[in-house]
Structure 1
Amino acid sequence: MKRENFELLAPAGDLEKLKIAIIYGADAVYFGGEMFSLRAGAGNLSIDEMKEGIRFAHERGKRCYLTINIFAHNEDIGPLTDYLEQIKNIGIDAFIVSDPGIVDLIQEIIPDAEIHLSTQANMTNFRTARFWHKMGVKRLVLARELTFTEIKEIRKNIPSDMEVEAFVHGAMCISYSGRCLLSNFMIERDANRGMCAQPCRWKYSLVEEKRPGEYYPVEEDERGTYILNSRDLCMIEHLDKIVESGIMSAKVEGRMKSVFYVATVIHAYRQAIDAYFSDPARYEFKAEWLTELKKVSHREFTTGFYFDKPTNQDQNYQTSAYTREYSFVGIVKSYDSATGYAVVEQRNKMTLGDEIEVFGPDIPFFKQALESMYDAESGEPLESAPHPQQVLRIKMDQPVKENYILRKAIRRSEI
């Protein structure tokens, strides 16, 4: 496979994340509109924001995909029809869809639309893939329950013009291809219509019906148990196997994650992909890429189903909390090379004397002590910056650019 035929696909929960994903190396982004997406809790994009984001991406030769992957009920069809009429001419490159009725509706309203089959459709065999090809689907977003062996067999037995995409990084769902009824059952929030409350991450104990209020741990552990709590998928150590399996789009999960998450994860995978395609025969994984991924909030990692069915080692029974070792403290808005000062928008508290790390899409990170900081509006010198999105002037040890990110290791006292 040639480099230009392989895609790094990033989540874009809002317009800022869309732009950051592209700046940090994504070849394409996927996002939801204000309705009909399976991430109702994400910021999502208004039609005007989609227009701006699509323009930003296309100017840089990147692609934009809109997720309309709910399982629609009758009352959704009318509003969805109106919505498609509003967005049909704004330049969306493809629609990610799981419901065959919605596939048909999009093709009716936007005849030349490119359709990608969502992972929610749980596509697991080449016969089903061929069916969707006949229905006009261009790309398959594979079910997460497939091994490399199965993926290679699907690739071998489908038309050559049909593309294969798969998740390589991010949260895993305990239910088959994410089609879960637990949230709906427990608190009437329908995961299949974008409102999942993630009850799989809750802490569970056992109660005997005649002893209400008496909770017994399911396992012999004083911390309780998280019987449905999957580890996070991470395939950066096996990027070569991803490419060689026939997958042409490596998808990162995380439309509800932070700008810091998007920048860090996309930057790490961008480096791995570029290293592989520069010389596939001599490609070697670099531990520093995995180290970078661990600097954003994450659960322990797993390779999911890629090598075999997951075992009890792929679940986290102790806690549903994230591992969080670094804090996203700011993003560069501009830099004055004459003075060495950057204008920085604060995202979390930082204090004089803190050691910070600075990274960008075109540099390895560097460390420096935070020795000089001023309020950008008043010019007042500051000891700390505790106010959300406070605009600061910070002395930088090395030149920086707009959208470089500042982070710092979290002290135990801050956890």
Structure 2
Amino acid sequence: MNKPEILAPAGNLEKLKTAILFGADAVYLGGSKLNLRAFADNFSDEELKEGIEFAHSRGKKVYVTVNVFPHNEDLEGLDEYLIQLQDLNVDAILVADPGIIMTAREVVPNLEIHLSTQANNVNWKSGLFWYNQGVKRIVMARELSIEEIKGIRAKLPEDCEIEAFVHGSMCMSYSGRCVISNYMTGRDSNRGQCAQPCRYKYNVVEEKRPNQYFPVFEDERGTYLFNSKDLCMIKHIPELVQSGINSLKIEGRMKSSYYVAAAVKSYREALDSYFENPEEYTFKEEWMDNLLKTSHREYYTGFYLGDKDSIVYESSSYIRDYDIVGIVRGYDESTGEAIIEQRNKLFEGDVVEVLRPTGDNFKVRLQNLRDEKGNKIDATPVAQMIYKANVDKSLEENYMLIKSKDE
């Protein structure tokens, strides 16, 4: 068996570094143009250069999304942008549009191409077609089962890689090719501007009774009839590996650094544990616990295993039981003093949970809070303020501090 890579989302430079520090083999991100997350932070040219250097110095890879469906005006400057990405030494570009693929083959023939999931590849002949166009990796459409992926893998050349989403938000439209947002708001999801109307609450108007709105019910479960659950395959690592997938992809370029850290950590540990001893592999509930603490909708297994219970009818809200409250920026072993960057307000004496790249989570109490100048404070109300606290266990730089909303 080949060990798949863990591929993580990187919505900005901090998330890129977080993903790699918590165990990702590769990250995917949007540059300054032509990607499907127009409202993510995305990367400036300087940040992209820094991110690539950070990843490559640790033996990790960076893939850049160029996965819009471009209109004529979007093609302006495409040649120069692709050359710029090649000069920055990106490891691959993610593309859905044949015109962009053709252009890439002409102007940057040595730059590796991955076929985006937006191209909705659902059979081996399509995969072979794209491989013959110079595509190195096929990102599977999310509408495929494990058995279908196995069948595709068996028919493709060995050096044609397969990538598949294993965790994160699911789009209610086929391979994400939705026109509802464009129709309702003028924001084209296929050009990176989705307004997520699938998360709206809907009512029905009967043709001959205008302005009389009737709620949409299905088995009395509610009205969010397009609101998909989130994908989570953490309990099915053996099946994913045995299907021949080369890259396990986590969705979420718009999600927080905490989400990235927790998701990468869980899948990293599960995958490593499986490869240590496949015959004795046992799923650990703490992997799922970490995923349940991040912001998410109800989980299901997507199309992989025939799970039909795919919609959350009651609400489109996320489940948010924990918040990130800080990131450790330094620690003095001799004094037990931690330097922390604030991410959410906390108070003197609060107990927080520590999420670290390797090893189980543990709890510490934050005492003797002080600001940067050493002045005593009772709370940390200022966004991203640097403060100091004494703790009773050793911490390390980049550990994350999270806190239950019930505590």
TM range (shorter): over 0.9
Map 1:8-407 → 2, pairs under 5 A: 8-209=6-207, 211-219=209-217, 224-308=222-306, 310-311=307-308, 313-376=309-372, 378-407=373-402
List per-residue Cα deviations over 1:254-274 (Å, max 9, x = no partner). 000000000011011111011
Report the AA paired with residue 272 of structure 2.
Answer: D
Give the conservation status (yes or no) of the 8 Å contact 2:2–2:246. no
Give the whole-Å Cα distance in 2 for the aligned partners of 1:224 and 1:138. 44
Deviates more, 1:346-355 or 1:144-153: 346-355
Give the whole-Å Cα distance in 1 for the aligned partners of 2:105 and 2:406. 53
The offset of 1:375, in angstroms, is 0.6
For these two proteins, the number of residue pairs brought into alignment is 407
Taking structure 2 as the reference length, what is the TM-score of the superposition? 0.97
Give the whole-Å Cα distance in 2 for the aligned partners of 1:215 and 1:92. 52
Runs of 4 or more consecutive aligned structure 1 residues displaced over 3 Å after TM superposition: 208-214, 220-224
Give the whole-Å Cα distance in 1 for the aligned partners of 2:325 and 2:390. 15
The offset of 1:338, in angstroms, is 1.6
Give the conservation status (yes or no) of the 8 Å contact 1:357–1:365. yes
Give the whole-Å Cα distance in 2 for the aligned partners of 1:163 and 1:85. 24
Q: Provide closer, same or farther for how the CA distance between residues 162 and 220 of structure 1 changes in structure 2, counting only shifts above 3 A.
A: closer
Identity across the alignment (%)? 53
The offset of 1:394, in angstroms, is 1.3
Give the conservation status (yes or no) of the 8 Å contact 2:221–2:313. no
The offset of 1:213, in angstroms, is 4.5
Q: Provide closer, same or farther for how the CA distance between residues 85 and 216 of structure 1 changes in structure 2, counting only shifts above 3 A.
A: same
Give the whole-Å Cα distance in 2 for the aligned partners of 1:68 and 1:397. 47
The offset of 1:46, in angstroms, is 1.0
Report the AA paired with residue 390 of structure 1.
Answer: M
List per-residue Cα deviations over 1:213-261 (Å, max 9, x = no partner). 4432111788851010000000000011000001010000000000000
Give the whole-Å Cα distance in 2 for the aligned partners of 1:324 and 1:167. 22
Partner SS state of residue 130, structure 1: helix
* Structure 1, unpaired ranges of 5+: none
The offset of 1:49, in angstroms, is 0.8
